[in-house]
Amino acid sequence: MAEINALMHGFAIALTPFNLMLMFIGIVLGVLIGVLPGLGGANGVAILLPLTFTMPPTSAIIMLSCIYWGALFGGATTSILFNIPGEPWSVATTFDGYPLAQKGRAGAALTAAFTSSFVGAFVAVVLITFLSPVIASFALEFGPAEFFAVYFLTFCAFVGTSSGNAMKTIASMMLGFALAAVGLDTVTGQLRLTFGFTSILQGFDFLIAVIGLFGIGEILLTLEEGLEFKGVRARLDTRVVLDTWKELPRYWATSIRSAAIGCFMGIVPGGATPASFMSYGVAMRLSPDRGKFGTGVVEGVVAPETAAHAAGTAALLPMLTLGVPGSPTAAVLLGGLLIWGLQPGPLLFVEKPDFVWGLIASMYLGNVVGLIVVLTTVPLFAAILRIPFAIIAPIIMVVCAIGAYTVHSSMLDVYLMVIFGVIGYIFRKLDYPLAPLVLALVLGDRAEASFRQSMLLSQGEMSIFFSNVLVGSLTGLGLILLFWPLLSLLRRRLAR
Amino acid sequence: MKTLTGISRGLSCAASAVLLFCGLADLAIGQSWKPTKTVEFIVPAGTGGGADQMARLADAIIKKHKLMAGNMVVINKGGGAGAEGFLDVKNAKGDPHKIIITLSNLFTTPLATGVPFNWRDLTPVAMLALDQFVLWVNAESPYRNAKEYIEAAKKAGPGKFKMAGTGARQEDQIITVALEKQGSIKFTYVPFKGGGEVAVQLVGKHVDSTVNNPIEAVAHWRSGKLRPLCVFDNERLVYKNKVTDKQSWNDIPTCKEAGVDMDYLMLRGVFTVPGAPPSAITFYIDLFNKVRATPEWKEFMAQGAFNQTFMTGDAYQAWVAKEELRHLRLMKEAGFLAPGGK
């Protein structure tokens, strides 16, 4: 009950008119940042961080974390409307969100995305409120082998979800791994695959690939197919929100599973992006409508969004208690804590209870405010699809280019974006799936680094991946998921 | 606490730097350079690390106290172990609206990767501080001092003890190799991406020791999870305020006292573009001097137990040149030089 008292005290701190105003400003800014591809939450928070330096720390972190929530909410918008993920963790949202929009159900997809985000965040906040000491020590169990097992599990959960040709999936994934390997090898400190060009030594940024492959690729395809969006019949009245809410309780099992996956990945911290992929993969395998995934089912939006937002929220816990950021945005916030004279670590909860509980209370409030703000924007965003293609397409191109430029402030990235756009177009024409490429690009180097760190620790023994209950069950689960198609085939044979 | 306390090797240089400063400050009133567009403060590392924190703090202080007319923006260009950032500044010749904060990767990156840049391609502005390194073990381990730890590592045999550090062929691994040489031992060095992650791996007992900077590990020290064994410097840290219930930074012995003759400090300095006019350099020196005088900066320095040596001009240049040679030697001994590199 101590937690409830502390939380109430936190609400008293967070609920001043000034803080509520900051919360609102933060959410609106965050949604804008999330909607614009490339300009991620990390950039947004970094730019605004100095402005908050004159505020009391609690107010400052409330505003900055609200920008973060806003970006988590907003990322789904462009994924659904234009097949352009605003943030890395909304890539998986495009798989079913965009087909839904094409069917004229953009409003339903947006409502489902925002509501699931809220549910995910809410579960994570409750978890943080009551179980933070336990969870914090759980994160300490994670060494390189455990991290690799988590990434392995993500890959295994996702492999086999695409319906197309298996060889094409493998080819696409391998290209992703190859691109992920470019740049500095963190284990040996050597440059790889740069062929002497200093301009690509930073490697291929995931965001630029995504903006190009999805955004530009999609526009090229639309150009070919008759210069208009298919979602023009989108309903615009606010009743769509209520109608969608009636439908959502049907997916309670998916929501719970996704929230659990998200919380787990946030605490570890594995990140929101792998969480969204893993959750999509798991939801697809376990859903009765398995075959319809990818053609526009609401469940395919609920799964990745719930997990992404749960992970994004839970990621703040390792940041506060261990000083390890679970996401790029959390890393910038971490810098902020130090600037305000707060030392993240196990003692933060004891020494600065006002700050910590004020922040946790603001997570509850910020997400409620966020949900209200984004739901009111649903008709507005859906209406964008009614703008003629000739007007909106050039705007999207410009926004994508700006987004690509902001990632590293470099012109080269804009050219790379265009190249990725052409690749995306060709891939779609030849019916190669894009998702495996993207997944390999985002997780490839992390999976490789943790694999090699494990090999260093175990001196080359593969048994490290089964050396304790935790890592063993993660690896085992991954293997089961990997051979799932085979297992279900076997089961069917036996049943017959 | 005096800024220059206890840094014998920098003392004479620093004194002349102070003289140089007053002169330059007068000069600045006469003919001065002012930014006419946004100043980019480049961080050749990712977000959240030591250099990033320092740059963002300086930026915040400048904004809060309105120390500079015009805008400043902190940009992370950490690709290729920082090569991305250094090349960016190198290529902006003659436009001093770009400054960069350094880590030891100013020396280690070109040596280890062969990427074509050298600190001489940039214009030195000022040394802001030096970052310390401490040998840490888990508080539940039986080792009370560096000697016991090294003995245990020797007894266990080569490669049995695991050292985690930030990056490969960078400062943490250089220190590890030097430590191995001193104690005739061999660690398994496991590189991670950031200092915070390294500290947590040690708290979670996935490795045996780290050489984290004070600020990266202090929170875990205070909560009783980590134990500092020795600091890689010739003198003890000057900060005498209690950090834990019993100990202050000053209570950590030097590694030299423990029989390991190794000192290593990391440069936290500022450079600008090649061919920057002297008036611009004066402007930045003046700016950072104002930053250093603020209470926020002083608090940050104490929190991270930084060595607050400040240098500019020739003294700074000479210090950097000396450090470059030292890194060349250390990296050559460790076999970390890039094939075809110098």
ipTM for this model: 0.89
Nearest by CB to B57, from A47, A188, A339: name it: A339
Residues B185 and B108 in one domain: no
B295: in domain: yes
Q: What does the pLDDT look like over B253-299, one tens digit per residue?
A: 999 998 888 899 999 999 999 999 999 999 999 999 999 999 989 98
Of the candidates A322, A335, A240, the residue with the CA atom closest to the CA atom of residue A42: A335
Residue with tokens 């972190």: A61
Residues B92 and B162 in one domain: no
Note whether A324 contacts B207, CB cutoff 8 Å. no
Note whether A339 contacts B197, CB cutoff 8 Å. no
Token digits of residue A27: 């959410």
Nearest by CB to B79, from A49, A143, A202: name it: A202
Higher pLDDT, B5 or B157: B157
B256: in domain: no
* Cis bond before residue A346 (omega within 30° of 0): no
Q: Are strands A190-192 and A183-185 parallel, antiparallel or unpaired?
A: antiparallel
Whole-number Å distance between alpha carbons of A228 and A219: 10
Nearest by CB to A140, from B52, B204, B218: name it: B204
State how many domains chain B has: 2
Residues B197 and B54 in one domain: no
B190: in domain: yes
Q: Are strands B123-131 and B311-312 parallel, antiparallel or unpaired?
A: antiparallel
| Mean per-residue pLDDT of chain A | 87
Note whether A191 contacts B191, CB cutoff 8 Å. no
Whole-number Å distance between alpha carbons of B133 and B200: 17
Residues B193 and B295 in one domain: no
B161: in domain: yes
Chain A positions in Cβ-Cβ contact with residue B60 (cut-off 8 Å): 49-50, 53, 339
Whole-number Å distance between alpha carbons of B328 and B342: 9
Residues B68 and B170 in one domain: no
Chain B positions in Cβ-Cβ contact with residue A54 (cut-off 8 Å): 64
**Are A218 and B200 a contacting pair, CB within 8 Å?**
no
Chain A positions in Cβ-Cβ contact with residue B166 (cut-off 8 Å): none
Of the candidates B193, B197, B218, B163, the residue with the CA atom closest to the CA atom of residue A142: B197
Q: pTM of the prediction?
A: 0.89
> Which of B197, B229, B251 represents a domain boundary (last residue)?
B251
Chain B positions in Cβ-Cβ contact with residue A339 (cut-off 8 Å): 53, 56-57, 60, 296, 300
Chain B positions in Cβ-Cβ contact with residue A47 (cut-off 8 Å): 73
Residues B153 and B228 in one domain: yes
B210: in domain: yes
Nearest by CB to B79, from A144, A203, A324: name it: A203
- Residues paired with residue A176 on neighbouring β-strands, in sequence order: none
Chain B positions in Cβ-Cβ contact with residue A140 (cut-off 8 Å): 200, 203-204
B114: in domain: yes
Given this model, what pLDDT does residue A235 score? Answer: 58
Nearest by CB to A198, from B61, B76, B87: name it: B87
**B340 has pLDDT over 70:** no
* Other residues' Cβ atoms within 10 Å of the Cβ of residue A479: 14
**Are A348 and A354 a contacting pair, CB within 8 Å?**
no
Residues B213 and B293 in one domain: no
Residues B122 and B192 in one domain: no
| Among B38, B40, B56, B103, the residue to mutate for chain A (most A Cβ within 10 A) | B56
Note whether B167 contacts A189, CB cutoff 8 Å. yes
- Could you give phi then psi for residue B237, rounded to 5 degrees? -65, 150
Q: How many CA atoms lie within 13 A of B120 on its CB side?
A: 7
Nearest by CB to A190, from B113, B196, B222: name it: B113
B117: in domain: yes
How close B97 gets to chain A, by Cα (Å)?
Answer: 15
**Are B216 and B195 a contacting pair, CB within 8 Å?**
yes
**B159 has pLDDT over 60:** yes
Whole-number Å distance between alpha carbons of A219 and A78: 13
Whole-number Å distance between alpha carbons of A322 and A319: 6
Residue A122 CB partners (closer than 8 Å, separation 6+): A364, A367
Chain B positions in Cβ-Cβ contact with residue A338 (cut-off 8 Å): 53, 57, 215, 300, 303
> Which of B251, B283, B302 represents a domain boundary (last residue)?
B251
Residue B331 CB partners (closer than 8 Å, separation 6+): B108, B111, B112, B169, B174, B337
Nearest by CB to A345, from B48, B116, B222: name it: B222
Residues B186 and B145 in one domain: yes
**Are B192 and B198 a contacting pair, CB within 8 Å?**
yes
Q: What does the pLDDT look like over A422-432, one tens digit per residue?
A: 999 999 999 99
Residues B122 and B141 in one domain: no
Q: Are strands B39-43 and B72-76 parallel, antiparallel or unpaired?
A: parallel
Nearest by CB to A331, from B47, B114, B200: name it: B47
pLDDT band (50, 70, 90) for residue A337:
confident
Chain B positions in Cβ-Cβ contact with residue A341 (cut-off 8 Å): 299, 303
Residues B166 and B65 in one domain: no
B113: in domain: yes
| Among B84, B87, B291, the residue to mutate for chain A (most A Cβ within 10 A) | B84
Residues B71 and B12 in one domain: yes
Chain B positions in Cβ-Cβ contact with residue A142 (cut-off 8 Å): 204
Residue with tokens 């069950």: A473
Whole-number Å distance between alpha carbons of B113 and B92: 22
Q: What does the pLDDT look like over B6-59, one tens digit per residue?
A: 444 444 444 444 444 444 444 444 468 999 999 999 999 877 678 888 998 898
Given this model, what pLDDT does residue B1 score? Answer: 39
Q: Are strands B123-131 and B161-166 parallel, antiparallel or unpaired?
A: unpaired
| Among B75, B77, B206, the residue to mutate for chain A (most A Cβ within 10 A) | B206
How close A129 gets to chain B, by Cα (Å)?
Answer: 21
Note whether A322 contacts B63, CB cutoff 8 Å. no
CATH code at position B243: 3.40.190.10
Whole-number Å distance between alpha carbons of B54 and B29: 28
> Which of B221, B251, B281 represents a domain boundary (last residue)?
B251
Nearest-10 Cα torsion for B336, B337, B339, B342: -170
* Other residues' Cβ atoms within 10 Å of the Cβ of residue A193: 14
Q: What does the pLDDT look like over A181-238, one tens digit per residue?
A: 998 888 888 888 888 888 888 888 888 898 899 889 988 988 888 766 665 555 556 7
Buried b / exposed e along B294-315 (16+ C-beta atoms within 10 A): bebbeebbbbbbbbbbbbbbeb
Of the candidates A343, A358, A442, the residue with the CA atom closest to the CA atom of residue A64: A358
CATH code at position B299: 3.40.190.150
Domain range enclosing B158: 134-251
